[in-house]
Amino acid sequence: MILTVTLNTALDITYRVRALRPHASHRVSEVTERPGGKGLNVARVLAALGHEVTVTGFTGGATGSEVQDLLAATPAVVDALVPVTGATRRTIAVVDELTGDTTQLNEPGPTITPAEWSAFQEAYEDLLTSAATVALCGSLPPGVPVGAYAGLVRSARAAGVPVLLDTSGEALRRGVAARPDIIKPNADELAELTGSHEPLRATQDARRRGARTVVASLGKSGLLAVTPEGRWQATPPARLHGNPTGAGDAAVAGLLSGLVEHLAWPDRLTRATALSAASVVAPVAGEFDRGAYEELLGRVAVTGEVTAA
């Protein structure tokens, strides 16, 4: 079983409009609602790939109930969300059909009490006993300690469960120090962590800070991985236009599936890059265009070398 953690779960609402203009009224052509937050997006992609996934995090209020109803209709995804008194947040993506650009509006999430945080930690420790790997994903809701991911990384390591961390800012800085097996920042997050805008130098620095492996999302330049076994870069054949929300989450799903299937790093990166690109042309985050994915698998270019640890 793959475990994904989404402390700040959401109901993802996607609006499609002909053209988005400030200070104007818009007619929405299509509305979709999906369970959201980074870890739930990862879980839905993993389930579509045929993996069994358990999701945990927080859920509350009418919005949280709607998220759980949608999860119940998702095959191969087990709901282990922890109830809280606050209301689960909503995230709104507005897709401009004329340009293909997406505007994102993210609510902050419910305030988590100390008792609720303790209840989650107990549930997480129990879930680790049957997990093959765990992904810690996304922002922290109000009330959760900024060092929360560091503690969750240490718990996973103590249980012998490989852990991937995908967050940003201070939560990433503290989490890296706990020595996760993989971190997956984008270029901006990596630069904020290390102070370097040169990708290879920054990934190497992130490893020195504690991450065993760093896989950096570089937008149209694909994924750069620096690992104990070597370093590789996977590049998609062309930039696809569409909704980029969730592309990084699809990449995480590719990395996790490759991990549990014991794929070599070049094959993991090929899958992750193809999934990321194929998710851009899907209508909402947490999904991917299977035809585009299968076509891209044979066209992703991977370069790199095996090096000493």
Active site residues: 249
Sort 267 into a burial class: Cβ within 10 Å, 0-12 / 13-18 / 19+: middle
Pairing of strands 77-79, 82-83: unpaired
Distance CA 182, CA 213 (A): 5
Closest by CA position to 178, among listed 146, 155, 205: 155
Contacts of 187 (CB under 8 A, 6+ apart): 197, 199, 216, 217, 218, 219
Place of tokens 């060092």: 147
Identity of the residue numbered 217: S
Distance CA 70, CA 66 (A): 6
* Measured torsion, CA atoms of residues 171, 174, 176, 178, in degrees rounded to the nearest 10: -130
- Cβ proximity of 103 and 17 under 8 Å: no
From residue 50, give the alpha-carbon distance in Å to each of 53, 55, 308.
Answer: 9, 15, 34
Beta bridge partners, 134, equal 3, 163
What phi and psi, each to the nearest 5 degrees, are found at residue 76?
Answer: 75, 5
Radius of gyration of the CA atoms of the chain, in A = 18
What phi and psi, each to the nearest 5 degrees, are found at residue 34?
Answer: -140, 155
